[in-house]
Amino acid sequence: MSMECHYQVFVPTGAPKLMFLVLHGYAMDASTMLRLALIVLGKDHLVVSIQAPNQFQLEMGSREIVYNWGTRAHGDASIRLHHNMVRHVRGEMEQRFGIPPSKTVLLGYSQPVGYNYRFAATFPEEVGGVIGICGGVPKNWETGDYGQVSASLLHIARDEDEFFPPAVTQDYRRKLRTRANEVEFHLLKGGHRFPSKCGVVIQPWLNRHNLAGV
């Protein structure tokens, strides 16, 4: 598949056995997400930060360019593009580093979380795990044209999140289990910000589901 994708790659000093594909939130970029991901994942894994396809100015007249994964007005097209980009980058990285789908984890913060869950239910052979941080479960998750998820799922929410409050996220474990057997849910303190200390949740989860690259 020939397509334009922009991404940044962190390669550990040793031979990587686990690959993270990390996707940033609305009005962010790949560089920022790579920095945040390395804080919680450490530097023992291959970490690939994929930049969203749609660029815009954060403020009128500003020179700062940021990115997003799509809008509701073009929902289906945005989902297809997301899926194609993730598959394209994962395939390139597997060719280069030899890391199979079973040792590939798709991690998203905020906006791409729902896209990533859709991906795992559409292409179950592509990833071994999915981590959703401060994001949502697709509204049509239980009724849409999706298959069963073979990947292990970890969802991390926050108790003061203004976009995804506990009143909404408290039902995510049940919803996700309608299509996945392995689901773990954690509610951390704080608002809608990337939790810099969520590594203490992620690492034990990787070990429990044989995704630690060992």
For the stretch 149-189, pLDDT in tens is 999 999 999 999 999 999 999 999 999 999 999 999 999 99
How confident is the model over 65-69, as a mean pLDDT?
Answer: 94
In a domain, 214, yes or no: no
Is the pLDDT confidence value at 1 over 60? no
In a domain, 127, yes or no: yes
Give the domain range for residue 23.
7-208
How confident is the model over 64-68, as a mean pLDDT?
Answer: 91
Location of structure tokens 């608002």: 191
Q: How far is CA 120 from CA 23, 105, 117, 124, in A?
A: 14, 10, 5, 5
In a domain, 31, yes or no: yes
In a domain, 37, yes or no: yes
Q: Evaluate whether 107 touches 23 at the Cβ level (below 8 Å).
A: yes
pLDDT band (50, 70, 90) for residue 214: very low
**Strand ranges (E), the chain:** 7-10, 19-23, 46-50, 54-57, 65-68, 104-109, 129-133, 152-158, 183-188
User: Domain containing 154 — which CATH number?
Assistant: 3.40.50.1820
How confident is the model over 39-46, as a mean pLDDT?
Answer: 95
- Higher pLDDT pick, 60 / 78: 78
In a domain, 2, yes or no: no
Q: How many domains does the chain have?
A: 1
- Higher pLDDT pick, 75 / 36: 36
What is the SS3 string spanning 24-85? CCCCECHHHHHHHHHHHHCCCCEEEEECCCEEEECCCCCCCEEEECCCHHHHHHHHHHHHHH
How confident is the model over 181-199, as a mean pLDDT?
Answer: 97
Q: What is the pTM of this model?
A: 0.95
How confident is the model over 125-150, as a mean pLDDT?
Answer: 97
What is the structure's pLDDT at 182? 96
In a domain, 126, yes or no: yes
The candidate with the shortest Cα–Cα distance to 185, out of 137, 147, 121, is 137
Q: Evaluate whether 46 touches 11 at the Cβ level (below 8 Å).
A: yes
Q: Which amino acid, residue 202? A: I
How confident is the model over 135-140, as a mean pLDDT?
Answer: 97
In a domain, 1, yes or no: no
Is the pLDDT confidence value at 82 over 50? yes
Angle between the 112-122 and 75-97 helix axes, to the nearest 10 degrees? 70
- Higher pLDDT pick, 17 / 111: 111
pLDDT band (50, 70, 90) for residue 64: confident
What is the structure's pLDDT at 2? 58
pLDDT band (50, 70, 90) for residue 58: confident
In a domain, 213, yes or no: no
Q: Report pLDDT digits (tens) over 91-125.
A: 999 999 999 999 999 999 999 999 999 999 999 99
Q: How far is CA 124 from CA 60, 105, 117, 119, 131, in A?
A: 41, 12, 10, 8, 14
Query: What are 65's strand-pairing partners?
Result: 57
